Amino acid sequence: MTEDRLIELIESWGADPSAFPEAERAAARALLAANPARFAAAMAEARALDEALARMPDVLPSAALTEALVASAPKPKRAGGGFRLPKFAPWAPASGAAALAAGLFMGLMVAPTASADSDTDDVQALLEEAIGYDPAALSEGIVE
């Protein structure tokens, strides 16, 4: 640590050696203690500025600014709100099949009975397969 370097430190970091760079702090303190008169003027000037700066009031945000900053932040994700995709309903395919079967059944009931027997048998079989019982039997009241 040279005298010139110590002057530089005082002029840069102020009169408090604890503000000096750590690597040079101990050597600077030792030199200051060894010859305080040599650095008294530099220390006094630096101290006056340090004290003037220390008297500067804090700059504090207003309540309005604080609220504006908070309001600009990300919002919490709401558990129940917003658009949601419909969930998969396991009964949906079954209801579709039931609707299909009901449509076929009604169509058969109101269709002209003069259609070909072979076609009627085919439709009958298809219906039985779709709804699980013979609709003709139901219409005759024999389904258990």
Partner 1 sequence: MAFSSDLDQITRAAAGDPAAVRALVNRYSPGVLSLATRMLSDRGEAEDVTQETFIRAWKALPDWEPRAKFSTWLHRVALNLCYDRLRKRRESLPGELPDLADTRLAPHEALDQSQRVRAIEAAIGALPERQSAALTLCALQGHSQAEAAEIMDVSVEALESLLARARRTLRAHLLEGSQSA
Interface residue with partner 1 among 1, 25, 29, 45 (CB under 8 A) is 45
Q: Which residue number, 51 or 121, has a Cβ lying nearer to partner 1?
A: 51
| Range list of β-strands (E), the chain | none
Select 19 or 104, whichever has its Cβ closest to partner 1.
19
Write out the DSSP string of 11-70: HHH-S-GGGS-HHHHHHHHHHHHH-HHHHHHHHHHHHHHHHHHHTSPP----HHHHHHHH
Amino acid at 31: L
If one asks whether residue 74 binds partner 1 (CB under 8 A), the answer comes out as yes
How many residues of this chain bind partner 1 (CB under 8 A)? 33
For partner 1, the binding residues (CB under 8 A) are 8, 11-14, 19, 21, 45-46, 48-50, 52-53, 55-62, 65-66, 68-70, 72-77
